[in-house]
Amino acid sequence: MGCLIHQGLRIFRILSVLIFVVLGSSAMVSAAITPVDLGTAGNFAVLAGSAITNTGPTTINGDLGLSTGTSVTGFPPGTVTGTQHVNDSAAAQAQIDLAAAYNDAAGRTTSPTTVSGDLGGRTLVPGIYVSSSTLAISNGDLTLDAGGDANAVWIFQIGSTLTTAAGSNVILTGGAQARNVFWQIGTSATLGTGSSFNGTIMAQDTITLSTSAVLNGRALAQTGAVILDTNTVAKPRTISIAVTGNISDWAFTPGTNTQTGTLTVTSDSSDWGITARDAMEDNKISGTGGRLSEYNETSDSYITVAPRIFGTAMAITGTTTGSITKTDISLTGSDQTLETGSAPVTGQDIPLTFSQVVAYTDPHLTNGNQYRITIVFTAITA
């Protein structure tokens, strides 16, 4: 492949259309750190071993499960938007899967960072954080900063208890997602009055949410109880996308080039969106509208030049259908909304049209060179 001469016209290829998904596996996830597989336990917002007790108008968005205990009290006045599984086969399997997930989280060893005492007032990048004893969030808020990587993962391994102070917050920023934050706790967890917390809590013993505490995640207790009091617990939403079509090896000729593809979306949220942007390989850029990397196939290296190949940035046209609304975009280095949905979908195919204007004005072309564009599709959900 490379820059071919054909009937006096240079022919170029766009390579490596990469699909990065916020709520799925992705090359953008921090090296060797993948989300903990919760199995069927991931279906539950609240799962306990011995009992579930509630006081006040608690709202649970997701399933509630108990195994092997039989006592669930306080519903009503509490409400569950999902299904209650009390000592049934679904709850039993969820506990089996929770044990496996707990052990998985506890066994992660890739470049761990040791922490202790109070995490309040700190900002932590993605990674594995290990405390041999108790951990607290009491002197200020804890911020988890994904640095623009919406697939970033945090795993906290806590030897004993986790306690958060009244009014404290675990804040997600930089595209961080609650579904990718995991708290593996050796004994029990207590969230303070009026506090807000993000992530999946996997405790060996009891989980207590004090009055008006909010959990954007899951409360999963293996052997102990989950104790609630006028809380909101919301299981993180999930979404997956795939893009197919003849766009991974696309030959261009002068003028306007078009190609088609299909975006397939599955989301259990009624509020979701798909964004797209272009990116560079090895930061080799500079086009007139198009963001490019010039690659020498022979030497397997990038050439630092300022290519002037694309007259305009690549355009992507989506489709409006049913509850899905499209926005036509021209790619830049920033995320732009391509599709939005207002209802859950399962395997919904959305036709896409890719359009690229090519204007050959680059003086650096030689045989063996290619131009590469990386298109980053990102799925987001409330």
**Residue 355 pLDDT level (bands cut at 50, 70, 90):** confident
Q: Residue 246: inside a domain, yes or no? A: yes
DSSP, residue by residue, 157-217 = EESS-EEE-TT-BEEEETT--GGGEEEEESS-EEEPTT-EEEEEEEESS-EEE-TT-EEEE
| Residues 271, 176 share a domain | no
Residues 208-217 have a mean pLDDT of 98
Q: Residue 32: inside a domain, yes or no? A: no
| Residues 267, 222 share a domain | no
| Residues 172, 73 share a domain | yes
Residue 168 has pLDDT above 70, yes or no: yes
Rounded-to-integer distance, Cα 373 and Cα 355, Å: 13
| Residues 95, 65 share a domain | yes
Task: Look at the chain and report how many structural domains it folds into.
Answer: 2
Which of 42-56, 103-117, 139-153, 290-304 has the weakest average pLDDT? Answer: 290-304
Cα atoms in the Cβ-side hemisphere of radius 13 Å centred on 216: 16
Beta strands 63-66 and 44-48 are parallel
Instruction: Look at residues 201, 219, 234 and tell me which one is the last residue of a structural domain.
Output: 234
- Which of 12-16, 17-21, 144-148, 207-211 is modeled with the greatest confidence? 207-211
| Residues 56, 13 share a domain | no
Rounded-to-integer distance, Cα 267 and Cα 192, Å: 32
Q: Residue 33: inside a domain, yes or no? A: no
The pLDDT of residue 380: 79
111 burial level (CB within 10 Å; 0-12, 13-18, 19+): exposed
DSSP letter assigned to residue 237: P
| Residues 246, 226 share a domain | no
| Residues 230, 244 share a domain | no
What percent of the residues of the chain are helix, what percent strand, and what percent coil, each to the nearest 5? 5, 45, 45
**Residue 212 pLDDT level (bands cut at 50, 70, 90):** very high
Cα atoms in the Cβ-side hemisphere of radius 13 Å centred on 268: 10
| Residues 308, 353 share a domain | yes
| Residues 213, 181 share a domain | yes
- Predicted confidence (pLDDT) per residue in 92-110, tens digit: 999 999 999 999 999 999 8
Q: Residue 245: inside a domain, yes or no? A: yes
| Residues 261, 215 share a domain | no
| Residues 107, 78 share a domain | yes
Asked if 284 contacts 306 with a C-beta cutoff of 8 angstroms, the reply is no
The pLDDT of residue 370: 52
Residue 78 has pLDDT above 90, yes or no: yes
Q: Compute the mean pLDDT over every residue in the chain, rounded to the nearest whole number.
A: 81
Q: Residue 29: inside a domain, yes or no? A: no
Q: Residue 130: inside a domain, yes or no? A: yes
Instruction: Look at residues 234, 257, 272 and tell me which one is the last residue of a structural domain.
Output: 234
pTM: 0.69
Rounded-to-integer distance, Cα 207 and Cα 229, Å: 12
| Residues 350, 276 share a domain | yes
Q: Residue 127: inside a domain, yes or no? A: yes
Domain that holds residue 104: 39-234
Asked if 228 contacts 53 with a C-beta cutoff of 8 angstroms, the reply is yes
**Residue 81 pLDDT level (bands cut at 50, 70, 90):** very high
Rounded-to-integer distance, Cα 71 and Cα 78, Å: 15
Q: Residue 278: inside a domain, yes or no? A: yes
Instruction: Look at residues 234, 267, 287 and tell me which one is the last residue of a structural domain.
Output: 234
Rounded-to-integer distance, Cα 61 and Cα 215, Å: 10
